[in-house]
Chain A
């Protein structure tokens, strides 16, 4: 395997001088005080992806999103005019959670013409206006026009719905996403509506899992037993090198090759991969997305492009495969050493059972790999917390991990500077 060209500086990391090459601390992943700072400095101030417009198929469609690190719940709704809006999920009367079914902490979705509080029956239009108050005459100096739902800043980009919990976001969504991410505008996400949605609670800090999926240095080792080709000695020895890394503001991306199963000898494949013409890298027979060239993908113009993983700060990933499908990851912190992981796989709706089986194979394979990744995280968290070792050498293929932790620290420092200024 011939080495992949690196930037003129000699390494990807040196190409971005703001990123250190010194051994790195993971204190930010094991310290409850840092978690408290992330709550205020990042998750209450950043644009957060909460889903896609396809989850709101009709006027009146809604879903709720629990954002534990911000101690809140948000309801996202397509109002009767078709506009996507977000509100804090709280009744203005006495603070009951407005939209929920049997279990207050469970996310729900559905279709409604109005929201009615279970407690005392107050009603709200989907644009947030309070329209009915039980025994309104019993209240004092009262005008229900003063009691609309509390709105949350909500913007949609490329079909992805984002909210921002700040009173006034410091940037618009488009400015926040920046040129590297918004270059994907026009990529046919909207055609890929066949959805597999996974969720797990993971016993690690959210950044530990982000790190696991933003480097592929681990892949030949951790996943060695997953396929005949992965266990070949020459594959093991070759390790992993990405084709391209790029950093833009708080966001980052990596491009790698894909596994070209359709070009491999069958003895390197699992028989079911050959049968279904599918595997980890998706169905071998890519759908025609009707868009050529695909906007924003493969920004490094790498030959043998297989996938791009866009890591969008703070906790959102869009991973686009060359074979015409994509997936998203979300990492929702729930404690300094715990988070909820969500994975979505999106395919073009299958035209027939053969295409559906190929998608099933890709989905099943995704889970087999993700479970191996997920379990390793808890082991990492436990030992990091021992603080026996406090400085860790990260190599050039782990540049994106360094960047996430750097940006996290930068946002916390900005927040501390601002709040210190206010209290003076």
Chain B
């Protein structure tokens, strides 16, 4: 596969890469609100069991010198965090009782 984004050991998650390997919180939050619970549940069920392994893989590298594929994997981990409240707590994409409220993250660490 020439267009692989993730490290080879995590190639089974390539189908989620184009949706969830997103560099900013704003993109991940937007993707969450644009997703159905089924879509997020499927991603979560697939990736969560190997979450610890993925963290351990990224942890091997200095954070400011992550290889590109490890950086993509880290973004996928951030997305797992992003969908965790909908999947684990609320069964809905948006925060209960949050209505039209918003809170934009304007400055965040990279990666």
Contacts and interface: CB of A to CB of B under 8 A. Distances in A.
A372 B95 contact: yes
Contact of A374 (B66, B82, B101): B101
B74 A356 contact: yes
Contact of A356 (B52, B56, B63, B90): B63
Nearest to A276: B81
B84 to A, nearest CB: 4
A352 B70 CA distance: 12
B109 A374 contact: no
B16 interface: no
Contact of A372 (B51, B96, B109, B111): B96
B95 A371 contact: yes
A376 B97 contact: yes
Contacts of B52: 275
A414 interface: no
A354 interface: yes
A22 interface: no
A194 B110 CA distance: 10
Interface stretch (A163-171, A361-369, A381-389): A361-369
B9 interface: no
A361 B74 contact: no
B3 interface: no
A197 B105 contact: yes
B58 interface: yes
A219 to B, nearest CB: 14
A197 B106 contact: yes
Nearest to B80: A272
A200 interface: yes
Contact of B55 (A343, A357, A368): A357
B98 interface: yes
Interface string B62-97: 110010001000100110111011001110000111
A225 B91 CA distance: 11
B107 interface: yes
A354 B48 CA distance: 15
A264 to B, nearest CB: 15
A212 to B, nearest CB: 12
Contacts of B77: 353, 357, 360
* Interface size bracket, A side: 35 or more
Interface in A214-238: 222, 225-227
Given A270-B88, A357-B77, A371-B95, A275 B51 contact: yes
B109 to A, nearest CB: 5
A7 B58 CA distance: 50
Contact of A353 (B74, B81, B88, B104): B74
A360 B111 CA distance: 11
Interface string B35-64: 000000000000010011001101101110
Nearest to A200: B103
Contacts of A198: 103-106
B99 interface: yes
Contact of B109 (A194, A200, A367): A194
B1 interface: no
A345 to B, nearest CB: 9
Interface string B15-51: 0000000000100000000000000000000001001
Interface in A172-204: 194-200, 202
A306 interface: no
Nearest to B104: A199
A108 to B, nearest CB: 12
A293 interface: no
B59 A199 contact: no
A350 interface: yes
A368 B103 CA distance: 9
A353 B59 contact: yes
B59 A195 contact: no
B58 to A, nearest CB: 3
Given A226-B85, A364-B81, A372-B96, A353 B48 contact: no
A265 interface: no
Contact of A361 (B59, B81, B96, B107): B81
Given A199-B103, A272-B88, A376-B97, A354 B82 contact: no
Contacts of A393: none
Contacts of A200: 101-104
Contacts of B25: 363-364
Closest 9 CB pairs of A and B: A353-B58, A272-B84, A197-B107, A375-B101, A371-B98, A374-B101, A270-B88, A371-B95, A200-B103
Interface of B: 25, 48, 51-52, 55-56, 58-59, 61-63, 66, 70, 74, 77-78, 80-82, 84-85, 88-90, 95-109, 111
